[in-house]
Structure 1
Amino acid sequence: MQLLLIRHAESENNAKPVHARVCDPSITARGRLQADCLGKWMSGLAIDQLITSPFLRTLETTRFVLQHAHTAPRRYPIAVWHDVFENGGCYHGHHEKNFRGAEGLGREAIHSFFRDISDQLPDREPPPLTVDSEIQSDGWWGGRDPESPDQMRARSRSVIERFENTFPQRPSHEPRSLSTDPVVVLIAHADFLREMLSLMLAGTVAMESVGPIPNTSVTSLQWSTTGWKLDSLNSVTHLPPRLVTGHQAMLS
């Protein structure tokens, strides 16, 4: 498997001070330009599966990927996984003393989001969509308390195992040029991606020396019988310099 880890486009929270942030923001005007550049770049890839978190900012980033597919979006079958959300989950408040759980988008709202994309592309078949059964009508987070750092680390480990169990390994002796590896894309969040990478690359890459993860940056890894191998980290070659954001601070 070739796995592309992509941070969502700039969200309204990324562009605001902490006290002004909301529980589930949209992407900004600049974020839409970033996502547009990402979608154009991804249109040249033969993707087998695209996975996104249920947060609005990742879904909106995914919208541009689908809009730029040169062929019918069946090229990009979509899965919304319940367990690839950002550190803490979906919640109101800006300090642990006033945190309170929010609902997050519900199952029907997510299906409606993708139906709207299909309505905007009437000449194309709608993408096959799978939404995890854990995402119910009352919202994917359901008003729970914020997740702890230890819980996020355990969840990151379980998501890595989910990838490893869902998609096949490439034999380590097989040349990549002859490989039939699936190409899998995950559009998720900075802190969560950082945690995943710290576990995948433990002993080979010191994540504290890597720096922040820019919006729509692309990290490429290979999953083979020898484990995880990093091909490229935080690439933003699809963006003009004026659109590179999130590279000066770690923001969700």
Structure 2
Amino acid sequence: MNSQAFSVHLIRHAESENNARPVHERVCDPRITQRGHLQTQYLADWMKTLRLELLITSPFQRTLQTAQGILRARGRRTEVWHDIFESGGCYHGHHESNFAGAPGLNRDQIVQFFGTPSVADSSDDWLVIDSQIGVDGWWGGRPREALEQTRERAIQVNERLIRTFAGTGGSVALVVHADFKRELLQLMLSDILDLDAVGPIANTSVTELQYSGSPDHGRWRLGYLNSVTHLPPRLITGREW
């Protein structure tokens, strides 16, 4: 890999309570299951082999818990980004006739959620939360996000990653969600990959990409796609459509 290229590991969160429930029993912001905790432990052990400068996570509880498991195993600066949440945002309801926006965790709740990790960088800024996440919650009760808005957000997140990390030669990990991960990959790898042929994205699966070039001119290259080699077969979930 080019020494000035930076790498990104896109990680789907561990199994959530919603993943294990029928659609009509799902809630707006579920936590992870006991099996999800086991998946996170295996993921965290595997990630000890990575030279990782930064861990970035969505503000949903299931991604925060997955990131927390990684953080406990290997202290690392963590950032909570407001713009890498799952398609649709944080909302109640199971059909467009009864969708209603939910607040999501606010800044203080996210700080309390992480607490003080047992293994962490000693600097005061080990946890950085986007300024857009305030006292009213990261979603703030907005209406459900439309697909066109999700795709526009994927473009903005791609630009943010390139603008922030291009030319650094570093390595970062993003803990995200299946549908948003798919939107990002369709954008990043549109010239080489038909994601409709790839199939479902398993819980804690890891995709590695490298970006070479400047913020204005460069390209993404695929290292590996949706790997679950860190999991024993009994813990592989989320492959169903």
TM-score w.r.t. structure 2 length? 0.93
Aligned position for 1:43: 48
Structure 1 residue 133 corresponds to structure 2 residue 125: no
Question: In structure 1, what residue type is equivalent to 2:145?
Answer: E
- Give the Cα separation in 1 of the matches to 2:166 and 2:210: 11
Q: Give how far 1:125 is off.
A: 3.8
> What does the per-residue CA deviation read over 1:148-176, in whole Å, with 9 as the maximum and x for residues that have no partner?
0000000000000000100024xxxxxxx
Q: Give how far 1:102 is off.
A: 0.2
Written as runs of structure 1 = structure 2, the 5 A alignment for 1:88-107 is: 88-107=88-107
The count of aligned residue pairs is 231
- Give the Cα separation in 1 of the matches to 2:73 and 2:163: 30
- Give the Cα separation in 2 of the matches to 1:156 and 1:123: 30
Q: Give how far 1:248 is off.
A: 1.7
CA distance change for structure 1 residues 77 and 238 in 2, over 3 Å: closer, same or farther?
same
Written as runs of structure 1 = structure 2, the 5 A alignment for 1:169-188 is: 169=167, 181-188=169-176
CA contact (8 A) 2:77 2:127 kept: yes
Question: In structure 2, what residue type is equivalent to 1:67?
Answer: R
CA distance change for structure 1 residues 211 and 122 in 2, over 3 Å: closer, same or farther?
closer
Aligned residues: percent identity? 54
Aligned position for 1:177: none
Written as runs of structure 1 = structure 2, the 5 A alignment for 1:4-15 is: 4-15=9-20
Written as runs of structure 1 = structure 2, the 5 A alignment for 1:1-252 is: 1-69=6-74, 73=75, 76-115=76-115, 117-118=116-117, 121=118, 125=122, 128-169=126-167, 181-225=169-213, 226-249=218-241
List 4+ stretches of structure 1 deviating above 3 A: 122-127
CA contact (8 A) 2:57 2:64 kept: yes
- Give the Cα separation in 1 of the matches to 2:93 and 2:114: 29
- Give the Cα separation in 1 of the matches to 2:84 and 2:17: 20
Q: What is the DSSP-based 3-state SS (H/G/I as helix, E as strand, rest coil) of the residue aligned with 2:229? A: coil
> What does the per-residue CA deviation read over 1:27-58, in whole Å, with 9 as the maximum and x for residues that have no partner?
00000000010011111212111100000000
TM-score w.r.t. structure 1 length? 0.89
CA RMSD of aligned residues (A): 1.4
CA distance change for structure 1 residues 198 and 124 in 2, over 3 Å: closer, same or farther?
closer
CA distance change for structure 1 residues 122 and 50 in 2, over 3 Å: closer, same or farther?
closer
- Give the Cα separation in 2 of the matches to 1:52 and 1:38: 15
Q: Give how far 1:122 is off.
A: 7.7
CA contact (8 A) 2:77 2:120 kept: no
CA distance change for structure 1 residues 44 and 230 in 2, over 3 Å: closer, same or farther?
same
Q: Give how far 1:101 is off.
A: 0.2
- Give the Cα separation in 2 of the matches to 1:34 and 1:152: 27
Q: Which runs of 5+ in 1 are unaligned?
A: 170-179
